[in-house]
With several copies, the nearest count.
Chain A
């Protein structure tokens, strides 16, 4: 059975529970659902929000390519990715990955793979909004995120 892949880029918040419910619906062979939620985090207490810029069109296409790669590597029955853009407050979700499979290890691996590639291959950029109103800087890409990809090769 082919993997159902759904990718959405939106500024609105999303309903994680509804996404989990959707992915299992009408498929009694799904035994495992893994989700990853990436939240807007404030390390130093100075951040008010993040502004997320994206490359419209390419963002959907690239995440879909990553999901298709994951679906080739593991027997997953459905993969959903939602990535937000625009202004995201502290504690709010930025990204949601949902992976459904008969087997838990496939669901875990597919979700982790998707997140690793999404971090450094999906065309999104984060800019800080500071609490004190001063202009924040663009968040630097992390070397650790680039290295995370190499373990899948």
Chain B
């Protein structure tokens, strides 16, 4: 699946997007965040406060307990400041 990062999540991870294949044990957004944190210093730093991370699956907002099955694209970003 494709992960896309925005704002300070993107800056801290150092990537705008990437393809990942999490292990089968990763079934929810929350588990995905935990798994990502194991992928390196910059991920651990970017995702240190998971409650500050907003998530979209296939470009729709979801909560962190949402299953990720069927997700083509998951967006991770800080609280939005539009308008």
Contact = CB atoms under 8 A, between A and B. Distances in A.
Direct contact of A and B (CB under 8 A): yes
Interface of A: 38, 53-55, 57-58, 61-62, 83, 94-95, 104, 115, 118-127, 138-142, 146
Contact of A119 (B6, B7, B83): B83
Contacts, number: 77
Given A62-B61, A138-B7, A121 B81 contact: no
Given A57-B59, A121-B61, A140-B81, 18 more contacts: A38-B83, A54-B82, A55-B77, A61-B59, A62-B61, A94-B83, A119-B82, A119-B83, A120-B80, A122-B82, A123-B77, A124-B80, A125-B8, A125-B77, A125-B81, A138-B7, A138-B8, A141-B81
A132 to B, nearest CB: 21
Interface string B1-44: 00010111010000000000000000000000000000000000
B56 interface: yes
Interface in B27-83: 56, 59-61, 75, 77-83
A115 B4 CA distance: 25
B77 to A, nearest CB: 7
A61 B73 CA distance: 14
11 contacts: A53-B10, A55-B4, A61-B59, A118-B82, A119-B80, A121-B80, A122-B83, A124-B81, A125-B78, A125-B81, A141-B80
